Amino acid sequence: MASAFRLQCHCILIFLAALKGETRYLEARGAGEDEPFLLLSADLKRELSGRQLYHRALRCIDMLSVEGQFTFTAEQPQLHCAAFFIGDPEELITIDYDFVHIDCQGGDFLKVFDGWILKGEKFPSSLDHPLPTSERYIDFCESGNIRRSIRSSQNVAMIFFRIHEPGNGFTFTIKKNANLFPCNVISQTPTGTFTMVIPHQHRNCSFSIIYPVVIKISDLILGHLNSLHFKVSCLFVS
Amino acid sequence: MKLQLLVSTGILLVALLPYHECRALGKSPPAAAGAPLPPDFLQPPPSLPVLLRMGEEYFLRLGNLNKSPAASFFASSSSRLPPGAPATNFFRAAVQQLQQLPERSLESAAGPGEGEAESLPREAMEREKRSEEPPISLDLTFHLLREVLEMARAEQLAQQAHSNRKLMEIIGK
């Protein structure tokens, strides 16, 4: 009787975990990434969680792939600055303004862009992103008092800023959150494997690499139409 | 039977209650409380020979590609960084090259509309200017982008190594 009851409890927990999508989250974590930490006691985990936040100065042109707090202080007028943010494919970027001291009336600006934009070309493209281009820019001078925490829609984001007065600047904190079903991804590395799962959504998704690479698509499932299941296996070699 | 029912109900309630994601462990940044990070950890990675040869310029574009050159920044010719420039000065030198370009303000790009908007409140006028402005982008080459990405990954690896070192110190207590 007791073993039957235990079995019922296990079934209930597994069912609830599956409904919440936790299985996908566990699959998204790399093998052996956090496994050693599971063996630590609760005391050790608490001690590790009390570590200070990583902090460094932000450069005019910078790329950030770690969590932490970053401060930019203009030593001279900085008119053309941008910082790129990139995380793992299964992560979203969250930007929290901790301190901002800029002169919006004097021509300074601080804008977050949901994605990357280079030479006018956007990633994700306008066809793939759920928001129009104008809404992908979040201007601190217009909405700074309302939106002090901004989350990206994919694993990349960037900020543009211009500061005329030396001494002005800002501080923000970068955090990363899990994205169970990433749709638009920029890969940080030129090697590796990635599986994109798009559960029952009618949307365009993309996976980009900014290195010259050979891409091999090992398996491709296109869903079903009229109860017919389509499956295509392709191999591309460049 | 009642006990089993109560336990089942308790399990369901616990499972359905909202929870906060615990991220005590992971790729969080290191550093013990109150202890500053060592200077070598904060420094960017050692220079790579390829960084000294880079001379591509990049610009903050205030217009799209189809706009006239008056609305965007372009250089007539590329310049080279000094051969002896260390990697730590890479960003400083690149920004200095940018600032040598003639400055064009956002107001000049939206000049024709100023006369008609004089009667509007100043805040609404600024909002209208911003909505009319083309999207801001950066004229950074892919080569430079890959270089800064490599530097960011090196920073991430250094931070992970520091975190692992701290973890081993804690475990060794």
Rg (C-alpha) for chain B, rounded Å, is 27
Contact flag B136-A119 (C-beta cutoff 8 Å):
no
Structure tokens at A195: 């599986």
Judging contacts by C-beta atoms under 8 Å, the chain B residues touching residue A66 are: 27, 29, 152, 155-156, 159
Which span out of A226-230, B24-28, B114-118 was modeled with the highest average pLDDT? Answer: A226-230
Interface-testing mutation among A75, A80, A189, A213, with chain B (most B C-beta atoms within 10 A)? A80
pLDDT single digits (tens) A18-62: 655 544 544 444 444 444 555 556 665 565 555 678 999 999 999
Q: In which order are the strands placed within the sheet that holds B137-138?
A: A121-123, A116-118, B137-138, B60-61
CA-CA distances (angstroms) from residue A158 to A235, B128, B160?
34, 23, 23
Task: Give the up-direction half-sphere exposure of residue A13: CA atoms within 13 A in the CB hemisphere.
Answer: 11
User: What's the predicted TM-score (pTM) here?
Assistant: 0.61
ipTM of the complex model: 0.73
- Which candidate, A174, A102, A94, places its Cα nearest to that of A140? A102
Judging contacts by C-beta atoms under 8 Å, the chain B residues touching residue A142 are: 127, 130
Residue with tokens 């009319």: B132
Judging contacts by C-beta atoms under 8 Å, the chain B residues touching residue A13 are: 11, 15
For strands A109-113 and A184-187, give the pairing: unpaired
The CATH code that applies to domain A51-178 is 2.60.120.290
Nearest CB among A53, A63, A82 relative to B149 is that of: A63
Q: What is the spatial distance between Cα B145 and Cα A62, in angstroms, rounded to a whole number? A: 10
Which of A181-185, A208-212, B28-32 bottoms out in mean pLDDT, i.e. has the lowest? B28-32
DSSP state of B112: G
pLDDT single digits (tens) A74-96: 999 999 999 999 999 999 999 99
Ordered by start, the domain boundaries in chain A are 51-178
